[in-house]
Amino acid sequence: MGDTESRVAWVRLARDAAPGEWLLPELEAIREGGEARVVVLDATGAEAVEAMGAEQLRALTLFALPVVCCFEGEPGEGMADIALAADIRVCGAGGALAVRPGAERLDAEALLQAGLVTAVAAAGEAAGEARRVAGVIASRGPIATRLAKEAIKRGAGQPLEQALRFETDLTLLLQTTKDRAEGVRAFLEKRPPLFTGE
């Protein structure tokens, strides 16, 4: 992956402190650093943790950069909430989640069928698959990926016509970027694009 790997910020969730105390400030520092294009929240090996508050989970859901979460096994309620707030979720074959307190845990295949995880990796391979997915995202134009996320998150709650208008506005904005011109040049020259985020 080379340079693409340096554009993936890896955040391990297995820590002593509750995520509500440190996760959002750490993500904001990553965003402000300007190097990362995608964040992976690694919940493999994380035990049950104190649940984050509703506002904190909303902030995680709306975080500007794409967020991939990976987990193995059956993370507790706090970790399940974090995983579900991520944009993309990868679990190991033995993974399971309860989507709300007191609900029956869904195994990996049921989570995939319900659209609650994006991919099911072989047992023990969730982190590797998350790294691969994050690398693909990081290789794309950073402005385009951020605006695609914005279109999905903000458009989901809008009437279809209004959401499509919003998406069109973002597409027009993308047409003015240097990255768009680089993408066209790279395609015509049959080479990989070198996106700068401009």
pTM, full prediction: 0.84
Convert the pLDDT of each residue in 145-162 to its tens digit.
888 887 777 777 778 888
pLDDT average, residue stretch 74-89: 85
Convert the pLDDT of each residue in 44-79 to its tens digit.
877 666 778 889 999 998 898 999 999 998 877 778
> Which residues have a Cβ under 8 Å from the Cβ of 135 and sit 6 or more positions away?
1, 4, 5, 8
Convert the pLDDT of each residue in 20-35 to its tens digit.
889 999 999 999 988 8
- Supply the pLDDT for residue 39: 94
Which residue ranges form the domains of the chain, and what is each CATH number? 3-138 (3.90.226.10), 142-188 (1.10.12)
Give the model's confidence band at 2: pLDDT under 50 very low, under 70 low, under 90 confident, else very high: very low
